[in-house]
A = this chain, B = another copy of it.
Amino acid sequence: MKKRAASPDVVVVGGGVMGTASAWELARRGLSVVVLERSVPGAEASSAAAGILGAQVESHTPGPLAELSRASRRLYPAWVRALERATGIDTGYRECGVLKVAFRAPELGRLAREVAWQKPRPRVLSRRALARREPNLDAKLAGGIAYDDDARVDPRRLFRALHIAAARAGVVFRSGAYVRRVVNEAGRAAGVALDDGSVVRARHVVVAAGSWTSLVEGLGIAAGAVQPVRGQIVELETPEPLITSVVFGPRAYLVPRDDGRTLVGSTMEFVGYRREVTAAAVRDLLTAAIELVPAFGAASLGQSWSNFRPYTEDELPLLGGTELPGLWLASGHYRNGILLAPITAAVVSALVRGKASPVPLAPFAPVRRAQP
């Protein structure tokens, strides 16, 4: 066996999109990084996500999360270009826009009023304009809101590219490494202790453990600060794509891929870590999809799966430094982890290197959840 190298500069807990994006960013800046993953890289929400880059469609009120989301969306084009350059992998990033549609005029009016604060202002599409944009949508739809700057990406391709890019940049990955706690030495993070009794020493610890974050001890956050919220997804397959935009209906969203697959999502369930796909959810998702695009009735049922969004009570991520110097959190991204990956990586990279964050972090400070 090869002798293990000296302690890395940074140990990252969690080999999902957040941890890997942060590790890649740090490695490109010359730091040595080890990523510890309890399962295999990208096993969880990172590859289960739908990949909606819904900076605006997912922002229902102005505020810091809406700003963070827009900042991350701005980073996306250059970020995926860099990934594609580094790996040759097409991440499926498409500036396709997102449509939020309504079956009745009053509902469309409500949607239009709700987005009045947004910049750029989403456009209201008439029934006819909507049909021109997506001819396979149900003709009974009253119209929709067009979020032209929102986009989509294929999370599995994105993750593969990220993982390969990080590995090529020198990041070391260890799978099956179950982190029990952060090691506190003289009031500073000094690494992490694994459940096999071993310790991985590092000057910086970044915890990006998604829905499993609260299971890591020594973070100084409440036991239930991050909770899993299950989402179920069903994939439909058609010979050609029936839609090109992401479509949000009243009861489901549809995310097309270029190859004729369309994801139909999703549920929001507090059921712990139970990874089922249930009959009632599939019934509801299929009903909603066929209601939006009747031709989906003849689509083939593809894969179905479920996974967990890392939910926080105020629905804001836990992003930034903690009360323990050297310990950084990048978790709790809830419904928008894929969207928020590049800005999160930029924030983590700046903080670990002692630079100023590119965005204000006060609203996301993990210590807001410190136990009394």
Contact = CB atoms under 8 A, between A and B. Distances in A.
Interface of A: 236, 276-280, 282-283, 286-287, 289-290, 296-301, 304
Given A301-B304, A304-B301, A279 B289 contact: yes
8 contacts: A276-B300, A277-B301, A278-B297, A278-B301, A280-B286, A283-B287, A283-B297, A287-B287
Contact of A298 (B280, B287, B296, B304): B280
Contacts of A277: 300-301
B283 A279 contact: no
Contact of A278 (B276, B278, B299): B299
Q: Which of A279, A280, A286, A298: most chain B CB closer than 10 A?
A: A279
A301 B232 CA distance: 11
Contact of A279 (B236, B278, B279, B280): B236
B280 A282 contact: no
A175 to B, nearest CB: 27
Q: How many copies does the complex hold?
A: 2
Interface of A, secondary structure class, is helix
Contacts of A278: 297-301
A282 B283 CA distance: 7
Which of A276, A278, A290, A304 lies at the interface centre, i.e. has the most chain B CB atoms within 10 A of its CB?
A278
A163 B331 CA distance: 55
A298 B276 CA distance: 9
A279 B295 CA distance: 10
Given A279-B290, A282-B301, 4 more contacts: A276-B300, A278-B301, A279-B289, A283-B297
Contacts of A287: 283, 287
Contacts of A299: 278-279
Contacts of A283: 283, 286-287, 290, 297
